[in-house]
Chain A
Amino acid sequence: MTTKESRPLLLVEDNEVNREMLQRRLQRAGYSLDCAADGQEALDKMRELLPALVLLDINLPVKDGWTVAKEASSDATIQDIPIIALTAHAMASDREQALAAGCQDYATKPIDFPELLIKIERLLNS
């Protein structure tokens, strides 16, 4: 496994099964990864680790994904970190809500993994 980025990605997901699965697949794809299980932990780790990119589940305990994205975009130290929203909701309004909340992209569960990798690469290289 080769680390493509010096800084890790941050995966925020409360469902243990899905978190483990994504973590393993992303590590296998060559990314170094940190994980958070709720919204507050996500914000804390963003400030602490300054990850290269955040994969943010929307249905989170403590603080939901929308709140995390909004707080992040108003915090000068972490507002430049790109965020990809992950949600099992598949309505058009969810996509618009995600972009309006300050997320740079959006992926629907079940995750299309190759497409997710393309989105990550696009944001890391921009």
Chain B
Amino acid sequence: MKLSRTSLSLRARLYLFSVAILTLFVVNVATHLWGSFARSESLVAYRDAAVAAQLINDLQQGLEEARQQTLVLATLRETTDEPLGDAERQTATAQLETLRQRLGKLGALGGESTEDYYRRLFDSASQLLDEWQSFYDDYNRLERQSAVESPIQYNDTWQKLNELDQRQEALAIQRSKTIDGTITLTDQITVIGFITTIAVTMLLVILLIRSTNSSLLRLKTGVQRFGSGDLSYRIDENRDAGEIQDLARTFNDMSGKLTTAIEEVNNAKADADAANAAKSMFLANVSHELRTPLNAIIGYSEMLQDELGDPGEVNREQVQHDLGTIIISGRQLLGLINEILDLSKIETGKMQVNLESFQPAALILQVCDALSPLLSQHKNSLKLELTGAEGHTMLSDPGKLQQIVTNLFSNACKFTDSGTISVAAKISEDQLTLTVADDGIGMTPEQQGRVFDTFVQAEATTGTKYGGTGLGLSIVKDFCSMLGGEISLTSTPDAGSCFTVTLPTTGPALDPEAA
């Protein structure tokens, strides 16, 4: 199967196949023509031989007759003195002339191989005919008695004629033998040629079908493998050339592109799955966070209701304390709901920045006052350092700054027990720098990297240990960038964390991307 191993394009294979078949047919036709030519040659040779034999026969008869006539006339002249009439002499001369003509024709028929024989015959016959002619011419002159009866010249001519005849016959036989040989040979070649042509044609057809079929089979196998999802499979491009190779390459390219496309789809799906999982986790955390304050609200309310139904004195102080607990839990719940709303606003791009002039120091003080219950819950103390910002005004969104301070402050309280929360603010060079530091549990660098991501807390278990939804810092970061500022973080495990927010006091730059 040499054809299938060599790299030939389908077109080249078909051309090669056609050329091979045509060549074979040309050889066959040529052989056949050669045979036909040999046959016609043979016919010509036989005809020439027959004509020559006829001429020799005629010449022999003519010579025989002419001799008989001369012998008769010679006998007559000896016995009678009757002269030869003009008419008779003319007839005889015409007879001799006919003989000369026949001799000439015989000469025209001969070839090189008989030339010597013919020359000798011609010389001898010419001499004989001349003798006879002079016999007729001198017939009436009695003193010239020529040796007409002498058979020497006649016999010589006769012999030369026979020699020529034999020579020609021999030549004809030899020639016909050669021609017959040629005819047999061309017949054999023609038959063998036709059989070979049929065999080679069949072989070529089989090779063409097999090689083309194996090429197509490779393509089919490849396409089937691609179709069944095996996109890493590659059709062997080097086994073919030309259009089939192009086709194989095109299929391989298609498979490569499909692989990339599927990879992209899979990546997109993985991303979507991850986002979905994060949202589910978030929902679970939200549910948990809502239930914790609700547990206190419902529990204390039911308990108060039961206790107030008891007979006896009502402990007013106790009731007041219990109601305070209910209020704090309700506020926690409200804060949580607001966080979720903020986040959904940020995510849908509906969060607006409302710029106002305000005094940041006053705002920070107000937030810290409002959150003092959180401070006492974890037995933390507060260290405020606002002198660098006091008396200054800034242009920004006070609601968002309030949210930033609240989230950072409550985070610091949540992760610190019996420690110190430091809140500092100063304004210089049109920039507010706000620092919220604690000496609580802190974070590892790895945790610090994730802590600003939406739905993510430093540890998956943070939510269960400390509460929270993983939204607070994500919202802080989004608000900072909306206000044209930044947030950074330094932290050491077991030593505390320090968040630093920088905001422009002249409002966010007029960049649509920032909003």
Interchain pairs with CB closer than 8 A, number: 57
Residues of A within 8 A of B297 (CB): 110
Decide if B210 is an interface residue (CB 8 Å cutoff): no
- Of residues A18, A64, A90, A110, which shows the largest number of chain B Cβ atoms within 10 Å of its Cβ? A110
Instruction: Find the B residue at minimum CB distance from A17.
Output: B296
B292 CB contact (under 8 Å) in A22, A25, A109: A109
Contact yes or no, B291 A25, CB < 8 A:
no
By beta carbon, the residue of chain A nearest B325 is A17
Q: How far is the CA of A64 from the CA of B300 in the complex (A)?
A: 25
Query: Of all chain A residues, which has the CB nearest B280?
Result: A91
- Interface residues in A46-66 by Cβ distance below 8 A to B read 58-59, 61, 64
A89 touches B300 (CB 8 A): no
Contacting residues of chain B (39-75) with chain A, CB-CB under 8 angstroms: none
Partner of A18, one of B289, B295, B306, B464: B295
Most buried by A among B287, B288, B329: B288
Q: Is the CB of B303 within 8 A of A21?
A: yes
Closest to A20 in B: B325
Binary flags per residue of B299-316, CB closer than 8 Å to A gives 1, else 0 = 110110011000000000
- Asked if A7 is an interface residue, CB under 8 A from chain B, the answer is no
Chain A interface residue count, Cβ-Cβ cutoff 8 angstroms:
21
Please tell me if the beta carbons of B294 and A110 are within 8 angstroms of each other in the complex.
yes
User: Does A88 lie at the interface of the complex (its beta carbon under 8 Å from any beta carbon of B)?
Assistant: yes
Q: Which residues of B contact A15 (CB under 8 A)?
A: 292, 296
| Separation of A64 and B459 alpha carbons in the complex (Å) | 15
Assess whether A104 is interfacial by the CB under 8 Å rule: no
CA distance A61 to B307 in the complex (A): 32
Q: How many residues of B contact A (CB 8 A)?
A: 21
CA of A9 to CA of B339, assembled, Å: 38
Question: Assuming the A-B contacts A28-B306, A88-B292, A89-B287, are A21 and B464 also in contact, with contact meaning beta carbons closer than 8 angstroms in the complex?
Answer: no
By beta carbon, the residue of chain B nearest A108 is B291
Does A88 lie within 8 Å of B325, measured CB to CB?
no
User: Nearest residue in A to B291 (C-beta to C-beta)?
Assistant: A88
Q: A25-B303, A89-B284 are in contact. Are A109 and B464 (CB under 8 A)?
A: no
Task: Report how far A110 CA is from B325 CA in the complex, Å.
Answer: 15
Chain B residues, Cβ within 8 Å of A91: 284
Residues on A with beta carbons closer than 8 Å to the beta carbon of B325 = 17, 21
Q: A25: nearest residue on chain B (CB-CB)?
A: B303
Instruction: Known A-B contacts: A25-B302, A109-B295. Give 18 more (CB < 8 A).
Output: A17-B296, A17-B329, A18-B296, A21-B296, A21-B299, A25-B299, A25-B303, A28-B306, A59-B465, A61-B465, A64-B464, A89-B284, A89-B287, A89-B288, A90-B288, A108-B291, A110-B299, A111-B295
Q: 21 A–B contact pairs at CB < 8 A? A: A15-B292, A17-B325, A18-B295, A21-B299, A21-B300, A21-B325, A22-B299, A28-B303, A28-B306, A59-B465, A64-B464, A90-B288, A90-B291, A108-B291, A109-B295, A110-B291, A110-B295, A110-B298, A111-B295, A113-B299, A113-B302
Chain B residues engaging chain A, CB cutoff 8 angstroms: 284, 287-289, 291-292, 294-300, 302-303, 306-307, 325, 329, 464-465
